[in-house]
Structure 1
Amino acid sequence: MTNTRPPRTPVVAHRDRATLHQLANRLPQAVIINAERGLDGIGTAEYLAKLTPSEVIRLQPLEAKTTITTEQVRTMIAMLRTHATVRRVIVINPADQMSEAAQNALLKSLEEPNANTHFLLVTENEQQLLATIRSRCQVLTLHRTSLVQDETLLDATSLTASERRQILFLAAGRPLLIRQLARTPKLLSEYQAIAADAKCILSTPGSYEALRTLPSYFTDRAKALQLIDILLTMVAFQMKTQPSPAHQPLLDRIITAETRLTHNGNVRLALLNIVV
């Protein structure tokens, strides 16, 4: 679809603004937008895609699916063979959810691009893309925003002082997540409950109470990743404020669990490895 409205400017760290401006002025043929969970990777892609009149083609997992299939990529490639009167921008999000076969199908389009066609691949971890894909793309890695930027995002909200502090802690430096938590009371409530579980796990490791928090996460990978994200935030805070030799081994276990989950490992075993 060709855009006519000016795009929303994404909230990015001050250090990323110059690079974003350069890309907007001269968009490369293929860009990987590397943005950890909670950063505005998709907003950045939409901004780059829409700043100049373009036909924007979006590729994402189909409803109730977790991967972008080879068939979807081939359908997109077929669309690119048709005539276009404006530039075309293909936004693939999340690009790391393309199957290996789908990535290989995309590779030929990156190797032999059509004129005036650009690809924006949004991912939380560029290393999950094939090396042959990465080698043909410029990489924009987004960084976390400052506390001043985070506080500005919350200035126009009606949050309580307690809710504001919680959001600034749980979503520090991640503007997309800050906005989601500030605008969605249900989501904030869910994060508060997960944070309570994370606090229990860290305060009583290996205990029955800590183990009892885990079963509700075993069948929900996304929720398990939220738990790990909050655990990482809390451990990092403890390492700064109350350093202990026990923190590094715990941090290593949490990072290992996160790696396993992002690579479709067993959720139950990954979480138990943190606690036991």
Structure 2
Amino acid sequence: MSIQTLHLHSTTKAHLSMLEKKIPQGLMLVGPEGVGLLTIARALAKSSGAVAQIVGDEAGNITIQTVRELYVRTRSKTSQKEIFILDNAEGMGRDAQNAFLKLLEEPNKTTYFILTAHDKSALLPTILSRVQVVEVKRMTRPASAALLRAHGVTEADKLAQLLFIASGLPAELLRLTADEAYQRGRIAAASQAKQFLTGTMYQRIAMISSISSRDEATEMLALSLQMLRVQLGQHRTTDVLHKINMIVAAKERIEANGHIRTQLLRIALL
């Protein structure tokens, strides 16, 4: 696996291909969920010929204890290049970040770090100043369409639906083409989201009564947000902004274990 074999935005691929030849000792990959940050980190590590290790406990958390253990490991002298991957680095607490900062300030010549993050603002400015940050972009619509066509999606309506659902995310594009059941479920969820936004109040309330799963509710709200943001880009209005804010708040409450139907009704009654 190399950068050239991955499905990426052309600008991102060109940038990463240059870094592949000489990886900086501190690198941060930043991009939306589903763009393939961990896959890219692994590809860079493999191309460099280094021993790659993902940092974290069994649950994938990077605690201060994890960083302390990493500090001890990286103090030993070795001639072999080692790359440590910190996936979802923004999940580190402040103490863990401060401890990790010491590693960045005093790296061994054979020690390299690749961090991935969906929200770099959650990381200390001092960490950001010591790593090279690469923004990983979504695939363009033409490139996404070409990928779908290469996997047998040629019918215009379905192509348009899948392009919207995947929104330039390589992993989602590939899963939509590989798993028909998943594809049908996502198309149904997109139709549900459209009805939730454009249906009458009665239709919205009737729809809510059929939603009992937290995952189903958050998926529908995420797709609704996607639709509204497209609409916002075409025509910015206070009404669309208000709906976006309401849906974001409802989604966050549901994800925090809030009552599903109560949160959805607040939007349905707008």
Q: Same fold (TM over 0.5)?
A: yes
Structure 2 runs not aligned, ≥5 long:
none
Deviations 1:12-43 (A, max 9, x none): 21222332133222221211100102212222
SS at match of 2:79: coil
Distance of 2:83 and 2:230 partners within structure 1: 40
Distance of 2:247 and 2:114 partners within structure 1: 31
Q: Return the match for 2:244 from 246, 251, 254.
A: 251
Structure ranking higher in helix proportion? 2
SS at match of 2:112: strand
Deviations 1:168-214 (A, max 9, x none): 11112222221122222333233234323322321247642354365
Deviations 1:241-265 (A, max 9, x none): 677652122123334556x47xx75
Task: Give the TM-score normalised by the residue count of structure 1.
Answer: 0.79
User: What is the CA distance between 1:164 and its match in structure 2?
Assistant: 3.2
Distance of 2:60 and 2:211 partners within structure 1: 23
Q: Which residue of 2 aligns with 1:232?
A: 225
Q: Which residue of 2 aligns with 1:51?
A: 47
The answer to whether the Cα contact below 8 Å between 2:190 and 2:223 also exists between their aligned partners in 1 is yes
The answer to whether the Cα contact below 8 Å between 2:205 and 2:268 also exists between their aligned partners in 1 is no
The answer to whether the Cα contact below 8 Å between 1:34 and 1:142 also exists between their aligned partners in 2 is yes
Distance of 2:244 and 2:16 partners within structure 1: 33
Larger Rg: 2
- When the two chains are superposed, the root-mean-square deviation of aligned CA atoms in Å is 3.1
Distance of 2:83 and 2:60 partners within structure 1: 23
Task: Give the TM-score normalised by the residue count of structure 2.
Answer: 0.81
2:189 is aligned with 1:183: no
Which deviates more, 11-20 or 152-161?
152-161
Distance of 2:2 and 2:9 partners within structure 1: 21
Deviations 1:33-84 (A, max 9, x none): 001022122222122211121010112552xx36333333333333323443
Q: Which residue of 1 aligns with 2:115?
A: 121
Distance of 1:185 and 1:97 partners within structure 2: 33
SS at match of 2:244: helix
The one-letter code matched in structure 2 to 1:133 is I
Q: Which residue of 2 aligns with 1:203?
A: 198
The answer to whether the Cα contact below 8 Å between 2:144 and 2:163 also exists between their aligned partners in 1 is yes
The answer to whether the Cα contact below 8 Å between 1:12 and 1:144 also exists between their aligned partners in 2 is yes
User: What is the CA distance between 1:266 and its match in structure 2?
Assistant: 5.1
The answer to whether the Cα contact below 8 Å between 1:9 and 1:47 also exists between their aligned partners in 2 is no
Aligned length: 264
Percent of pairs identical after alignment? 26
Distance of 2:19 and 2:217 partners within structure 1: 35
Q: Which residue of 2 aligns with 1:150?
A: 144
Deviations 1:153-178 (A, max 9, x none): 12332446254332111112222221
Q: Return the match for 1:216 from 213, 216, 222.
A: 213
The answer to whether the Cα contact below 8 Å between 1:94 and 1:121 also exists between their aligned partners in 2 is yes
Distance of 1:111 and 1:225 partners within structure 2: 41
* Gap change, CA 1:189 and 1:252, over 3 Å in 2: same
The answer to whether the Cα contact below 8 Å between 1:107 and 1:133 also exists between their aligned partners in 2 is yes
* Gap change, CA 1:142 and 1:7, over 3 Å in 2: closer
Distance of 1:139 and 1:152 partners within structure 2: 29
Distance of 1:50 and 1:94 partners within structure 2: 20
Distance of 1:137 and 1:232 partners within structure 2: 32
Which deviates more, 165-174 or 30-39?
165-174
The answer to whether the Cα contact below 8 Å between 2:23 and 2:48 also exists between their aligned partners in 1 is no
* Gap change, CA 1:52 and 1:216, over 3 Å in 2: same
* Gap change, CA 1:14 and 1:95, over 3 Å in 2: same
Distance of 2:187 and 2:78 partners within structure 1: 48
Distance of 1:148 and 1:98 partners within structure 2: 36
The one-letter code matched in structure 2 to 1:132 is T
Distance of 1:178 and 1:275 partners within structure 2: 30
Q: Which residue of 1 aligns with 2:80?
A: 86
